[in-house]
Structure 1
Amino acid sequence: MLGLGADLLWVDMNRLLSFLFHQGVLDEQFLQLQQLQDETSPNFVTEVVNIYFHESEKLLKNLRELLMEKELSEYKRIGMHLNQFIGSSSSIGAKRVTNVCIAFRAATDQNNRPGCLRALEMLEHEYCYLKNKLHELFQVMFHCTLLSIMKFY
C-alpha cells in the first residue's frame, strides 16, 4: 500500500516540476542542481535553495529601501544588487525571477524610477510565486522520500 502512495506522490512531483518548466518558472539549471544531490548530500537542493531565499530576502529589502529614498541617485547600487539577484537566481534555475531582474536592471540603466518601482513589484510577485511553488515541491519530495524509506520497513 505504501508503494502506491509513494508512486502517486512521485507522479505529483513530476507533474509539478513539469508545470514549473512549462510556465517558465524554472529552467534546466534547476535539473543540473538536482543532479548534484546524492546519498552523501540528500538535502543539497533544499539547502542551496534555502540559502538563495535567505539572501534574496536581504536583496529585496535593500532594493525596496533604495527605491523609497526621496532623491533616488543610487541607480548603480540598485544595479549591483540586481546583478547579485540575477546571478543567484540563474544558478538555481529561477528563470522568471532572472528575467524580471534583467528588465529591472534595464530600468535602472535608464534612471527610470517609475519603471524601477513597477519592476520591483513584479520581482516581489515572481519571487513569492517561486518561493511558494518550490516550498510545495519540497514538501512533495520530502513525502516521497519518507514513503520510500518506510517501504523498506
Structure 2
Amino acid sequence: MLGLDADRLRADLNRLLAFLFHQGILDEQYLQLQQLQDESSPNFVSEVVNIYFHESEKLLRNLRSLLMDREFSDYDKMGIHLNQFIGSSSSIGAKRVRNVCVAFRTASDQNNRAGYSIYMHALYFLYG
C-alpha cells in the first residue's frame, strides 16, 4: 500500500515540475540541482530550496524596508540585495524570480522609483 502512495506522490511531483518548467517558473538549473542529490544526501534539493526561501524572505524584507524610506537614496544597497536575489534564484533555477529581479535591478540602475513598486509587487506575487 505504501508503495502505491509513494508512486502517486512521485507522479504528482513530476507533473508539478513539468508544469513549472512549461510555465517558465523553473529552468534547467533546477535539473542540475536535482542531479546533486544522491543516497548520501536524499534531502539535498529540499534543503537547498528551504534555504533559498528563507534567504529570499530576508531579501524581500530588506528591499521593502529600503522602498518604504521616503528619503531613500541608497541605490547601491538596493543593487546589492537584488544581485544576491538574482544569484540565488539563478542557482536553484527559479527563472521567473530571476527575471523579475533583473528587471527590478534595471529600474534601480535607472533610478526608476515607479518601476520599483511594480517589481516589488511582482516579487510578492511570486511568493504568494
Aligned-residue offset at 1:6: 2.6
Aligned to 1:94: 94
In 1, the alpha carbon distance for the partners of 2:42 and 2:6 equals 18
Aligned positions of 1:43-54 closer than 5 A: 43-54=43-54
18-27 vs 2-11, which deviates more? 2-11
Cα distance in 1 for partners of 2:40, 2:3 equals 24
Matched, 1:55 2:55: yes
TM-score (norm 2): 0.94
- Compute the displacement of 1:7 (Å): 2.4
Aligned with 1:59: secondary structure? helix
Match for 1:57: what amino acid?
A: E
DSSP 3-state at the match of 1:39: coil
Q: How far apart, CA to CA, are the structure 1 residues paired with 2:105 and 2:117?
A: 12
Per the alignment, residue 113 of structure 1 pairs with 113
The answer on 1:124 being equivalent to 2:120 is: no
- Note the residue ranges of structure 2 that are not aligned, 5 or more in a row: none
Q: TM-score, normalised by structure 1?
A: 0.80
- Aligned sequence identity (%): 71
Tell me, in whole angstroms, the C-alpha distance in 2 between the residues paired with 1:112 and 1:64: 15
SS of 2:79's equivalent?
Answer: helix
Taking the aligned partners of 2:59 and 2:13, their CA distance within structure 1 comes to 29
Q: 2:115 aligns to what SS in structure 1? A: helix
